[in-house]
């Protein structure tokens, strides 16, 4: 029997071969699509289903691509010719919430925002806050090592996961990590799995580290500057004070103009950049006043709001960035990180690349942690070669400034060609060998991350 025949015999209607389902599974939100159509999309509903799928895949040596909501931006969950797409989107249970221990045990398919709606009833929340929180799954957040707007103060996914349940390529189930605050027994395989992009196994459960809901006021500060460099200098000045905003987002002139057009807002002045900053907790008002003074001293035109709903309306401008870029054409949404003090220099490098390649590169940044998202806009489904060349120049500039290729989107398909430039050949090879320990026959997400 073929792999598809075995899957159908074992799992029946959970095996989807409808042309629309296969076509959808080829692509994620990056715009990149894998070549060819996968064999099937298999909708696992239990851990046992995942184990069955992986046993069949190993026995038939059939490649498997694990997929959640398909909201990734690096092509890591795209299924191509001859591959099984293993979907965990139906595994949405929250099996345990422990307010006393500040933890929850969840299945991977639950959406980030849905989880937090549920936790709020208990006075709790899970801190990772990707811009895609309303549509991205917790399992996908863990697999990509996702970040978001709140990372500078509350950490990334890696800081908020105590353990994962992982099904290996041969169907074995591992329970990694712990439920205790401390735990250093053996190697930290949980951290190894976080951000591994489906190359080590299938995440089928997670023990999450929670926080209590933040009490006190939320204050929102907006400040406009005559240039993006001036805004970046101001954000670095805020960081240097030691004040820790919950959110500090920077939008350059091109991104501001695109969002204004999308939302039918007044057009910003030419060249104008904007910082949007939130402080929270019992000290929010005093911190907001101090931040506002730093921004004024740095040359910003500053407004402060103590109204939470008004703050969310102001942040909606930033959260509309992806839709605004999509309205301009096909978008390659990039993701580099640099030390926070190097933010002005990185914007200088983006300006240089724009000049050299005759491009406009709208850029937003999580300025509180040095993570920038430059956007390359073009026509048609395929990234033009000169855009790839410009992206390569961008990556090398970030690395030269002490930064990295990716802060939160991952490597996937789109960045694999540059991975060795950051890691070096020896570390690249060592990491590739680690994937082979978990997946000796190489069926998990082949052609992704460590593809030469």
DSSP string covering 378-443, please? ESSSS--HHHHHHHHHHHHHHHHTT-BS-SSS--TTTTGGGHHHHH-HHHHHHHHHHHHHH-TT--
Q: What's this model's pTM, rounded to 2 decimal places?
A: 0.93
Helix pair 308-319, 253-263: axis angle to 10 deg: 110
- One CATH from 3.30.300.30, 3.30.43.10, 1.10.3470.10, 2.20.28.10 for 3-87: 3.30.43.10
Q: Which fold has domain 94-212?
A: 3.30.465
Q: Is 86 helix (H, G, I), strand (E, B) or coil?
A: strand
Q: Are 89 and 137 in contact (CB under 8 A)?
A: yes
Q: pLDDT at position 419, please?
A: 95
> Do the domains 94-212 and 216-323 sit in the same CATH topology, yes or no?
no
Q: pLDDT at position 423, please?
A: 96
Partners of residue 211 on adjacent β-strands? 125
pLDDT averaged over 10-residue windows placed end to end, the chain, 452 residues: 96 97 94 92 98 98 97 94 98 98 98 97 94 91 92 92 98 97 94 97 98 93 96 95 94 94 91 96 95 97 91 85 87 93 96 96 94 92 91 97 94 93 96 96 95 66
Q: pLDDT at position 29, please?
A: 87
Annotated domain spans of the chain: 3-87, 94-212, 216-323
Q: pLDDT at position 322, please?
A: 83
Nearest-angstrom CA–CA distance, 339 and 334: 17
Q: Are 443 and 58 in contact (CB under 8 A)?
A: yes
- One CATH from 3.40.50.20, 3.40.190.10, 3.30.70.3450, 3.40.50.720 for 216-323: 3.30.70.3450
Distance in angstroms between the alpha carbons of the first and the last residue of the chain:
33
Q: pLDDT at position 452, please?
A: 56
């Amino acid at each position: 029997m073929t792999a598809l025949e075995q899957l159908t015999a074992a799992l029946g209607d959970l095996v989807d071969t409808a042309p629309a389902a296969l076509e959808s599974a080829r692509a994620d939100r990056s715009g990149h699509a894998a070549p060819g159509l996968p064999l099937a999309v298999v909708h696992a509903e239990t851990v046992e289903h995942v184990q069955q799928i992986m046993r069949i895949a190993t026995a038939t040596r059939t490649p498997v691509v694990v997929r959640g909501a398909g909201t990734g931006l690096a092509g890591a969950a795209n299924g191509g010719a001859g591959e099984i797409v293993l979907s965990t989107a139906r595994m949405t249970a929250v099996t345990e919430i422990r307010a006393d221990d500040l933890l929850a045990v969840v299945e991977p398919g639950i959406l980030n925002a849905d989880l937090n709606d549920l936790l709020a009833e208990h006075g709790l929340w899970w801190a990772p806050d990707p811009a895609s929180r309303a549509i991205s799954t917790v399992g996908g957040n863990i697999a990509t090592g996702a970040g978001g707007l709140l990372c500078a103060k509350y950490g990334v996914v890696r800081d908020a996961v105590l353990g994962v349940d992982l099904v290996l390529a041969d169907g074995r189930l591992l329970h990694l990590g712990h439920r205790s605050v401390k735990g250093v027994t053996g190697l930290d395989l949980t951290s190894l799995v976080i951000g591994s992009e489906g190359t080590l196994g299938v995440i089928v459960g997670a023990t999450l580290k929670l926080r209590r809901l933040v009490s006190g006021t939320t204050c929102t500060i907006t400040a406009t500057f005559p240039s993006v460099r001036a805004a970046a200098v101001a954000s670095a000045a805020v960081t240097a004070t030691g004040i820790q905003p919950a959110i500090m987002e920077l939008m350059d002139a091109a991104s501001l103009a695109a969002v204004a057009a999308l939302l039918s807002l007044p057009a910003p002045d030419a060249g104008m950049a904007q910082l949007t900053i939130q402080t929270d907790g019992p000290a929010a008002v005093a911190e907001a006043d101090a931040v506002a003074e730093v921004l004024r001293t740095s040359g910003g035109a500053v407004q402060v709001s103590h109204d939470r709903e008004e703050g969310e309306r102001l942040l909606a401008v930033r959260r509309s960035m992806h839709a605004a870029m999509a309205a301009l054409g096909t978008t390659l949404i990039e993701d580099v990180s640099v030390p926070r003090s190097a933010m002005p220099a990185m914007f200088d490098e983006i300006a240089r690349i724009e000049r050299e390649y005759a491009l406009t590169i709208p850029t937003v940044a999580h300025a509180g942690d040095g993570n920038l998202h430059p956007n390359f806009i073009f026509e048609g489904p395929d990234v033009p070669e000169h855009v790839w060349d410009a992206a390569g120049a961008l990556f090398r500039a970030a690395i030269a400034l002490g930064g990295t290729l990716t802060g939160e989107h991952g490597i996937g398909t789109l960045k694999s060609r540059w991975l060795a430039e950051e890691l070096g050949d020896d570390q690249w090879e060592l990491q590739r060998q680690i994937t082979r320990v978990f997946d000796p026959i190489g069926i998990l997400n082949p052609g992704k991350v460590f593809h030469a």
